[in-house]
């Protein structure tokens, strides 16, 4: 008899896929990485839809978002003082090795809403 344990999963939150109010609240927060790693946030906060462990083209629902400064999100523009920051969408593997999967930060957001 094979008794394998199922992984413990986060509670599934039932809500609509698009929620502009939730995005506004996340956008008003500081970058979770800058805040927790005592970095100065030099660029505006952007909303990042979690992507770690997902294998598809469909965007995740708006409640699965975390606040990231531009430099920790895309790092398309150079902001003074952000030279050492890693952008998730530019270097996902490096970002995850430093800060963990982006989905691990969802609880951080929930605690502050």
Judge contact between 69 and 45, C-beta under 8 A.
yes
Residue-averaged pLDDT of the chain: 85
73: in domain? yes
Kindly state the average pLDDT of the residues 42-57: 85
- pLDDT at position 62 over 90: no
- pLDDT at position 12 over 70: no
3-class SS of residue 84: coil
Share of the chain above pLDDT 90, in %: 59
Kindly state the average pLDDT of the residues 63-87: 90
pLDDT value of position 41: 95
Longest dimension (CA), the chain: 60
* All residues at 6 or more sequence positions from 79 whose CB lies less than 8 Å from its CB, including other chains: 42, 43, 70, 71
pLDDT value of position 76: 83
Structural domain harbouring 61: 20-112
91: in domain? yes
pLDDT value of position 16: 60
pTM higher than the cut 0.85: no
CATH number, domain containing residue 54? 3.30.40
Task: State the Cα–Cα distance between residues 107 and 113, nearest whole angstrom.
Answer: 10
100: in domain? yes
Question: What is the total count of domains within the chain?
Answer: 1
């Amino acid at each position: 008899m094979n008794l394998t344990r199922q992984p413990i999963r986060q509670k599934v939150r039932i809500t609509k896929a698009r929620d502009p109010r939730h995005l506004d609240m996340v956008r008003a927060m500081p970058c979770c990485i800058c805040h927790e790693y005592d970095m100065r946030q030099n660029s505006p906060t952007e909303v990042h839809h979690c992507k770690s462990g997902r294998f598809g083209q469909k965007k995740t629902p708006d409640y699965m978002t975390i606040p990231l400064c531009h430099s920790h999100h895309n790092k398309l523009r150079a902001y003074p003082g952000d030279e050492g920051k890693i952008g998730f969408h530019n270097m996902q593997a490096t970002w995850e090795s430093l800060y963990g999967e982006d989905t691990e930060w969802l609880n951080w957001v929930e605690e502050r809403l």
